Chain A
Amino acid sequence: MSPSLSQLSVGEVLATRTLEVDRARLVRYAGASGDFNPIHWNERFALEVGLPGVIAHGMWTMGAAVSVVTEWAGDPGAVVDYQSRFARPVPVPDPGSVSVEVTATVGAIDAEQGTARVDLTVVVEGQRVLAKAQALVRLPA
């Protein structure tokens, strides 16, 4: 059952999810996306260009965060628009992993357009790593 617009209220928390990201996950994303920039897998290169170490692809974080919305909406095709700014890099340790905490909240409802704006809060170690992460979702009335 997909949610309907009339059931929603602005400010309502729709879903939360904690994602774990490790180096293997970044290699997997590099292969899946074709983004082989070495800052996402090569520690030596990342340090040479002034980063604290290997960092996650911003597009991995953005792509993984919106999975919360597609699960909630019940239809991946319901997301008609999705945008984000990349506020902070996400360093990924080796060995180990880092937790990315995602919270999806209703930001706005447009009954005329039949859409809800879902705002994503994406936090790593207490700091927001995405800014203005917003998904526009088409839903039944």
Chain B
Amino acid sequence: MAVNTSYAGRVYPPGEVYRVSAEKIREFAEATASTHPAHTDVEAARALGYADVVAPPTFAVVVAQRAESVYVQDPEAGIDFSRVVHAEERFTHHRPIVAGDVLTPTLHVDGVVERGSLAMVTTRVEIADAEGAPVASVTSTLAVRGEDA
């Protein structure tokens, strides 16, 4: 089944709330060899002016990919994950994510473009905090190979 181009422009209702924990930040930092002490040591984070341990720059992908799954796993969207290659990713941080944040993601499908036997699917997840203030914007582009590619 081909990728459904009619999803372009779609905006989903706000996704499930994500509660950021110090342990999740620690796990993510250790997995990505992010050794800065502010990821794991609350005193080091406070010395930099943060309320609690601070997440590495790509941590927001955890929140974003959870939100994206509503779309990419929708059978009607026609995205065959065995044919997907991650093409691009971008994080724009309005402020750093820290432990204790309560984040709400809103998923936008910015583009579904067919280029020959490839479809390029671009999503953007806008992440806001408990007060509704913007925290991060995560843009992801997937390349989906067609049946004959």
Contact = CB atoms under 8 A, between A and B. Distances in A.
A71 B33 CA distance: 11
A67 B30 contact: no
A43 to B, nearest CB: 15
Interface size class for chain B?
A: 35 or more
B34 A59 contact: no
B47 to A, nearest CB: 10
Interface stretch (A3-11, A82-90, A91-99, A109-117): A82-90
Given A70-B56, A76-B39, A86 B32 contact: no
A128 interface: no
A82 B65 contact: no
B91 interface: yes
A121 B31 CA distance: 20
Interface size class for chain A?
A: 35 or more
Given A33-B62, A82-B57, A58 B86 contact: yes
Contacts of A63: 28, 31-32, 34, 56-58, 61
Nearest to B50: A77
Contact of B88 (A19, A70, A86): A86
Given A34-B62, A85-B88, A28 B34 contact: no
B28 A59 contact: no
Interface in B60-92: 61-62, 65-66, 81-83, 85-92
Contact of B48 (A75, A82, A135): A75
Interface of A: 19, 25, 28-29, 31-35, 37, 48-49, 58-60, 62-64, 66-67, 69-71, 75-77, 79-86, 89, 135
